[in-house]
Amino acid sequence: AQKVTQAQTEISVVEKEDVTLDCVYETRDTTYYLFWYKQPPSGELVFLIRRNSFDEQNEISGRYSWNFQKSTSSFNFTITASQVVDSAVYFCALSGPNQGGKLIFGQGTELSVKP
Amino acid sequence: DTAVSQTPKYLVTQMGNDKSIKCEQNLGHDTMYWYKQDSKKFLKIMFSYNNKELIINETVPNRFSPKSPDKAHLNLHINSLELGDSAVYFCASAGVRPRTDTQYFGPGTRLTVL
């Protein structure tokens, strides 16, 4: 069965701190896809990044970076120099061709960045 | 232009009523989805349509019926609403490869059943 675990329910940091959101996944598929979505207080779900199982390269986009490690089945998300606007719920998700494309979401991590 | 749109954004109704939520995408995608987010923010797939054909139907009460008049629209009709149906419903769409393409979400519809 496929499963995504985000063990951190809530994280609170002060602006400019670095913060890492953990994501651990389980799947028996050899081909799969990992995603991060952001849900700000306004409620919409915003796509941040996608990683394919055959591409373990880490990714950096501005203050955001992602560390994909198949050996530990993890896909962690780091925000460097956090800002108040980063306050949101962040979801890690998993899908695969054998699952009909449906996204399996983790429980979400609520990040609060205080000024 | 909004890529994936939903109407209404908020829906408040009485138990036992029937209601519909509409979703439209202008991305030219072939696949659309409905997800439900409960009060604890947990997100779960409900349905998926590819080119107007149902391809995912999770364990959802048959009071919920999706309808796809064309590949740009996927509506969700709910009969005999119950208190437990209160949630945020998200529509999403993905490209021509339903099993592999990235899904983009609409703004959500917050349904409150009184």
Nearest residue on chain B to A88, alpha-carbon basis: B41
Mean pLDDT along residues B61-70: 93
Q: Which residues contact A4 (CB under 8 A, 6 or more apart)?
A: A23, A24, A25, A26, A92, A93, A94, A104, A105, A106
- A29-85, pLDDT tens digit by residue? 999 999 999 999 999 999 999 999 998 888 899 999 999 999 999 999 999 999 999
Q: Which amino acid, residue A89?
A: V
CA of B88: how far to CAs of A91, B16, B52, B59, in Å?
15, 18, 23, 18
Q: Confidence class of residue A19 from pLDDT cuts 50, 70 and 90?
A: very high
Q: Please give, rounded to a whole number of angstroms, the shortest distance from the CA of B84 to a CA of chain A.
A: 19
How many CB pairs below 8 Å do chains A and B form together?
A: 64
Which pLDDT belongs to residue B41?
95
Distance CA A7, CA B93 (A): 28
Comparing CA positions, the residue from A42, A35, A46 lying closest to residue A2 is A35
A102 at B interface, C-beta within 8 A: yes
Which pLDDT belongs to residue B79?
97
DSSP chain B: --SEEEE-SEEEE-TT--EEEEEEE-S--SEEEEEEE-TT--EEEEEEEETTEEEEE-S--TTEEEEEEETTEEEEEE-S--GGG-EEEEEEEE-S-TTTSPPEE---EEEEE-
- B77-101, pLDDT tens digit by residue? 999 999 999 999 999 999 866 567 8
Q: Which residues of A touch B94 (CB under 8 A)?
A: 101
Q: Which residues of B touch A101 (CB under 8 A)?
A: 31, 48, 55-56, 94, 98-101, 103
SS3 of chain A: CCEEECCCCEEEEECCCCEEECCEEECCCCCCEEEEEEECCCCCCEEEEEEECCCCCCEEECCEEEEEEHHHCEEEEEECCCCHHHCEEEEEEEECHHHCCCCEECCCEEEEEEC
